[in-house]
Structure 1
Amino acid sequence: MKKLKFLLFIAIIVVAMTACGGSDGSSEKSSSGEGSGKYDLIKDGKLIFAASGEFKPFSYMEGGKMVGYDIAVAEAIAEKLGLEPVQKKAKFSGIVTGVKQGRYDIAVASHTITEKRLKEVNFSEPYYYSGPVIYTRPDSDIETAEDLKGKEVSVSRGSTYVEMAQQYTDNIPQVDSDVVALQSLSKGHHDAVITDAVTGSTAIENGLKIEKRAQLGVSEQAVAVPKGHDKLMEDINQALKELKESGKLKELSMEWIGADITQEPEESSE
């Protein structure tokens, strides 16, 4: 009888130790954060990102897919996170709302960090720097921001340039993309356009008859992330840090932009 009790006691000890061992292993796996479940993504294993597809050379359509600097950065981030990148084309004016409402995991769409947008979403560290510029036709007498007073200034709908133009005029036609605004300007419509320096330079290189007249400041462009997704934000920032340190971000900038826009420039008044 005593022998039976002893054997029973040993069996209970073994079972208890096995259970503890299983619990420790399970706990360790959970705390390691392996797998994309830690990010609370729309679809497990996929990083669904939004871009406009209408902002060359940052995002534009080619062969039925979006390509450009923004797209390349999004795909590089996804690779760093061990996720499959899934692109979603959307109107620029609705992208931040889409991120906030959970239609996209993130947006890599050349969004300038602003106080207004920070009320809706969080932003990563900047992945490039640029700045707003006044563009006109060569025969225009507009030289400075003050010359915009009372003029017709076209901007991209939903961009930070809307509020900027409102400082000088109430006549602000809003269009779906900066490229459309510049094309319209080149054809004789509007008095000026305020848009990103890189976009304007690219348009000039592509043959549009427009000129740069004045730079209005320096802006920081970053990845938009839903509020409350702290781990996703943390790992995106780590991915961007690694891409910068390795030189990969600069490489992508040179490939798509033809210049290094990953470093903060000095503000110019030219």
Structure 2
Amino acid sequence: MKKHMSTIAILFAVIFLLAACGSQQSGNQSKGDNAGSNYELIRPGTLTLVSTGGYKPFNYMENGEMVGYDIAVGKEIAKILGLELKLEKAEFQGHIIGIQEGRYDIAIASHTITQERKKQVNFSQPYYYSGPMIFSRPDTGIKSAEDLKGKKVAFDRSTVYREYAKMYTDKFDFYDDDLRALQAVADGHGDAGITDEIMGKTSIENGLKLIAGDRLDTTEQAIVIKKGNDKLLEAINDALAQLKSSGKLKELSLEWLGIDITQPE
């Protein structure tokens, strides 16, 4: 009888251990799901983010590392999703096609939400609000949209801000990024540039010989995600909601930009 009871006790112990191991494996699997198996990623467990590295203070290179507000937001999102973050650097005009072709999971590079872009990719909820502003040399007298009549305006070649100048002029110069466009204006090539308010003002603070004119609109900037990757879109929107409710997104904005641009005006 004692031998029989001992055998039963051993069987119960084995069953208990197996159940515990199964529970642990289930927990590990659940953690794996949270680390990206529920949505399409180029590399399992890794969030591949593309940015330009040339749009200070949002994304730029410092000591060989890409940093800025956009990058800081991406790092926090990857942390919430339980994913490793891999940063890729590419010209702005290649981001949307790169997302469509599956070279990157997301793009965080101050992309303005537009109806035309929404036909090509999905956008997250906005993670900041800004707007296009006119920048010119002090001697031009250009401050308002009306002042752009007949003038030559410089742009990043992929910007949507050209639409704000088209009704006043048809003279444009295009450059690989906004900083090059503004630098060209400062050097006397063209009469004015239109770019994001904060980016332009930061360039002036860093020594660019330009003045800020009128802001032309308020725009929403968001994270770019491939169409059809709905679970990743939902996860990123949830992460942004957490960053907003916790105050972390505002903290990042103040840290990198000196102002809070996480809420619409």
Q: Confirm or deny a common fold (TM above 0.5).
A: yes
Q: Helix, strand or coil: the match of 2:165?
A: helix
**Distance (whole Å) between structure 2 residues aligned to residue 252 and residue 214 of structure 1:** 26
**Distance (whole Å) between structure 2 residues aligned to residue 143 and residue 48 of structure 1:** 40
Q: Does residue 103 of structure 2 align to residue 103 of structure 1?
A: yes
Query: Is this contact kept in 1: 2:136–2:210, CA < 8 A?
Result: yes
**Distance (whole Å) between structure 2 residues aligned to residue 193 and residue 35 of structure 1:** 43
Q: Does residue 120 of structure 2 align to residue 120 of structure 1?
A: yes
Q: Does residue 65 of structure 2 align to residue 40 of structure 1?
A: no
Q: Helix, strand or coil: the match of 2:142?
A: coil
**Runs of 4 or more above 4 Å deviation:** none
**Distance (whole Å) between structure 2 residues aligned to residue 131 and residue 39 of structure 1:** 32
TM-score (norm 2): 0.86
| Counterpart amino acid of residue 160 in structure 2 | T
Query: Is this contact kept in 1: 2:130–2:220, CA < 8 A?
Result: yes
Query: Is this contact kept in 2: 1:166–1:172, CA < 8 A?
Result: no
In the comparison of the two structures, how many residue pairs are matched? 241
Q: Helix, strand or coil: the match of 2:199?
A: helix
Query: Is this contact kept in 1: 2:143–2:212, CA < 8 A?
Result: no
Q: Helix, strand or coil: the match of 2:227?
A: coil
| Counterpart amino acid of residue 96 in structure 1 | I
Q: Helix, strand or coil: the match of 1:173?
A: strand
Structure 1: state its 5+ residue gaps: 1-21, 266-270
Q: Helix, strand or coil: the match of 2:171?
A: coil
**Distance (whole Å) between structure 1 residues aligned to residue 235 and residue 143 of structure 2:** 44
Change in Cα spacing, 1:167 to 1:93, as seen in structure 2 (3 Å) is farther
Query: Is this contact kept in 2: 1:225–1:233, CA < 8 A?
Result: yes
| Counterpart amino acid of residue 92 in structure 2 | F
TM-superposed deviation, 1:258? 1.0
**Distance (whole Å) between structure 2 residues aligned to residue 163 and residue 215 of structure 1:** 14
**Distance (whole Å) between structure 1 residues aligned to residue 197 and residue 228 of structure 2:** 33
The Cα offsets for residues 140-159 of structure 1, whole Å up to 9 and x where unpaired, read as: 12232122121100011111
TM-superposed deviation, 1:34? 4.0
| Counterpart amino acid of residue 137 in structure 1 | R
Query: Where in structure 2 are the equivalents of 1:80-91 lying within 5 Å?
Result: 80-91=80-91
**Distance (whole Å) between structure 1 residues aligned to residue 35 and residue 135 of structure 2:** 47
The Cα offsets for residues 100-128 of structure 1, whole Å up to 9 and x where unpaired, read as: 11110000110000001001100000000
| Counterpart amino acid of residue 97 in structure 2 | T
**Distance (whole Å) between structure 2 residues aligned to residue 195 and residue 154 of structure 1:** 9
